[in-house]
Structure 1
Amino acid sequence: MIRETELSVRDFIYPLFVCEGEQVKREVKSMPGVFQYSLDMLDSELCELESLGIAAVLLFGLPSHKDECGSQAYDENGIVQRAVRQIRADHPKLFVITDVCMCEYTSHGHCGKLTPSGDVDNDATLQWLAAEALSHAQAGANMVAPSDMMDGHVAAIRQALDQGGFSNVGIMSYSTKYASGFYGPFRDAADSAPAHGDRRSYQMDPANREEGVRMAEIDIAQGADMVMVKPALAYLDVLRDVRERLHFPTVAYNVSGEYSMVKAAAQNGWIDEKRVVLELLLSIKRAGACMIITYHAKEAARWLSEVDHG
């Protein structure tokens, strides 16, 4: 009767990895229970999500080939663009969000165009990101989610969407994304590890709490409809700051490393997986998240349903 925070299946956004090929349902070795799907294998997964009450998905693409300019990212027949069209046709009630970044598509694995010295060219990358976001909107995406951490990316994408006639397509910005060690398993899932160096020059310093709020504030001013804190568990203080100080819809990404640690401990019998997962997700909600992107979504939805039905 006096419970202050409620966790619901309506809070979850489920990440999906789509790949080229046929009859592909490939488990990610470092993420038990998470798979890469070819488009012909996607329908059963989407039906399961809808049956569980999960209403939103976040799409990541694994292209057939990569090049220096990440051309598959903004190709109208790219893997994500085709996946969006298929989902919107077959599952029109699902809310489709697409990740907008270059790291899965570039041969060097960085999130943008490289200069001759090997640094990421922030301003030149904005054109690629805007083209990618626009191609997703043209395919039918409800919302785009730029995860690249380039300065000015939200403004560039908002302008491209509005000029392209897609002012109704929202932007969920990865506004507060830290240079974290928790992303390792995702790079297996999305085949997006950088070929050299790392991403610390454009992702945030984990020591910086105030900067996290400022970055979210900048993206709001540029036209973001939702902002995000990523990772979630090690940055609950930042999540709370962003939500309380900016009073704006705030998403938390319960990232791959957080997921895989729980899975590994559960497989070894060291923790009660159900209890720990629901406790962690509740803590993210309690800290201020409006929505939670989590690989635990399907299991959590089942467990919450068990609670609701006694």
Structure 2
Amino acid sequence: MVFDFHRGRRLRRTSVIRDLVRETTLSSADLMMPYFVIETDDQDYKKPISSMPGQFQLSLKQLELKVGEAVANGLKSLMIFGLPAEKDPLGLQAYAEEGIVQQAVRRIKKLWPDLVVATDVCLCEYTSHGHCGLIKDGIILNDPTLELLAQTALSHAKAGADIVAPSDMMDGRVAAIRERLDESGFEELPIMSYAVKYASAYYGPFREAAESAPQFGDRKTYQMDPANAREGLREAAADVLEGADIIMVKPAGPYQDVIRMVRDSFDTPVAAYQVSGEYSMIKAAAINGWIDEKAVVLESLIGIKRSGADLIMTYFTEDVLKYMGNK
């Protein structure tokens, strides 16, 4: 008897067979959890972020409690975003020795030395105008900003960060940070560059969480046009040339084609950020009973990894660790 059709169902017949031939898998090592830590005297401070159900602004003490629970469930890495008590035009608290991120890094690394702690290197959470660079006459200044970003990265390194992650999208910032780290004795510290970062509408909830909305204009003069893909390869190539060790695409879900292009073009590890808007849409649909949250979360992350991401930063990390049962 001649069979003239493909019997793909043979390998889908049981869950064990499906597991055996699965092409893409997800593990705890693939996931990085973002946390928002706020400078406050109230160590019990834990403010829900209304547009991101299940996420919070945390005091240092509450951050410690959240991280401890996640580590017990298998957390391998995290990213810290800081909210200072005071902001100013120069973003002074971004690179202050006792800034909130610097305090958080020292605290976490003391408690969990093996936990990978990455830090967001940017000025927008610290500037009174909410932009990622210095401003003169309404213009975001590129080159003068590089010095402050390098200072910020160095302050994080001195506090004990394992990875610094510039997210500002100023031209040349990876080179400036690499030079400052190297001349200060941190040659071994990796840079994870937000290399391909779009001026996305999906960031809305984050701006509530980080209190970082720009006070005028927008960020389209430094973040990328969502219509452009090839431009992303130029940005990634520039950052790799300047010394980036990991390159990130942000957002993840709507830009899986870009993740694949970056993966196919570079040998460096590729990260992807499943951003606040992606998180909030899934959460909202689940709260309304329209989707199976666990199934959609896992499918979305598998899709991002399948497109080429080696590392996924996602607000679902704590939930997924519980799904996995410390695998």
Q: Deviations over 1:146-183 (max 9, x none)?
A: 00000000000000000111111110000000000000
Match of 1:261 in 2: 281
Give, in whole Å, the separation in 2 of the partners of 1:164 and 1:248. Answer: 24
Which amino acid letter does the alignment assign opposite residue 240 of structure 1?
Answer: R
Q: Deviations over 1:244-271 (max 9, x none)?
A: 1112200000000000000000000000
Aligned length, in residue pairs: 306
Match of 2:33 in 1: 14
Give, in whole Å, the separation in 2 of the partners of 1:159 and 1:232. Answer: 29
User: What TM-score do the two structures reach when normalised by structure 2?
Assistant: 0.92
Q: Deviations over 1:33-83 (max 9, x none)?
A: 011111122221111111111110100000010001000000000000011
Match of 1:96 in 2: 117
1:284 to 304, 316, 324: 304
Match of 1:148 in 2: 168
Q: Counterparts in 2 of 1:103-122, with a 5 A limit?
A: 103-116=124-137, 118-122=138-142
Q: Secondary structure at the match of 1:36?
A: strand
Which amino acid letter does the alignment assign opposite residue 45 of structure 2?
Answer: V
Which amino acid letter does the alignment assign opposite residue 47 of structure 2?
Answer: R
Tell me, yes or no, if structure 1 residue 219 matches structure 2 residue 239.
Answer: yes
Q: Secondary structure at the match of 2:80?
A: strand
Task: Give the superposition deviation at 1:304.
Answer: 2.4
Which amino acid letter does the alignment assign opposite residue 28 of structure 1?
Answer: I
Give, in whole Å, the separation in 1 of the partners of 2:49 and 2:306. Answer: 30
Match of 1:228 in 2: 248
Q: Counterparts in 2 of 1:40-189, with a 5 A limit?
A: 40-116=61-137, 118-189=138-209
Match of 2:16 in 1: none
Tell me, yes or no, if structure 1 residue 194 matches structure 2 residue 252.
Answer: no
What is the percentage of aligned positions where both structures have the same residue?
A: 56
- Cα RMSD over matched residues? 0.9
Q: Secondary structure at the match of 1:186?
A: helix
Rg (Cα) greater in structure: 2
Task: Give the superposition deviation at 1:125.
Answer: 0.3
Give, in whole Å, the separation in 2 of the partners of 1:42 and 1:199. Answer: 29
Q: Secondary structure at the match of 1:235?
A: helix
Which amino acid letter does the alignment assign opposite residue 57 of structure 1?
Answer: L
Give, in whole Å, the separation in 2 of the partners of 1:302 and 1:139. Answer: 30
Which amino acid letter does the alignment assign opposite residue 172 of structure 2?
Answer: G
Task: Give the superposition deviation at 1:225.
Answer: 0.6
- Stretch of structure 1 that moved more, 47-56 or 124-133: 47-56
Q: Which runs of 5+ in 2 are unaligned?
A: 1-19
Match of 1:2 in 2: 21
Give, in whole Å, the separation in 2 of the partners of 1:100 and 1:41. Answer: 22
Give, in whole Å, the separation in 2 of the partners of 1:180 and 1:252. Answer: 14
Q: Secondary structure at the match of 1:131?
A: helix
Which amino acid letter does the alignment assign opposite residue 282 of structure 1?
Answer: I
Give, in whole Å, the separation in 2 of the partners of 1:52 and 1:35. Answer: 19
Stretches of 4+ aligned residues off by more than 6 angstroms: none
Q: Which runs of 5+ in 1 are unaligned?
A: none
Give, in whole Å, the separation in 2 of the partners of 1:114 and 1:41. Answer: 34
Task: Give the superposition deviation at 1:184.
Answer: 0.2
Match of 1:248 in 2: 268
Give, in whole Å, the separation in 2 of the partners of 1:91 and 1:305. Answer: 20
Which amino acid letter does the alignment assign opposite residue 253 of structure 2?
Answer: L
Which amino acid letter does the alignment assign opposite residue 5 of structure 1?
Answer: T
Tell me, yes or no, if structure 1 residue 301 matches structure 2 residue 321.
Answer: yes
Give, in whole Å, the separation in 1 of the partners of 2:306 and 2:255. Answer: 13
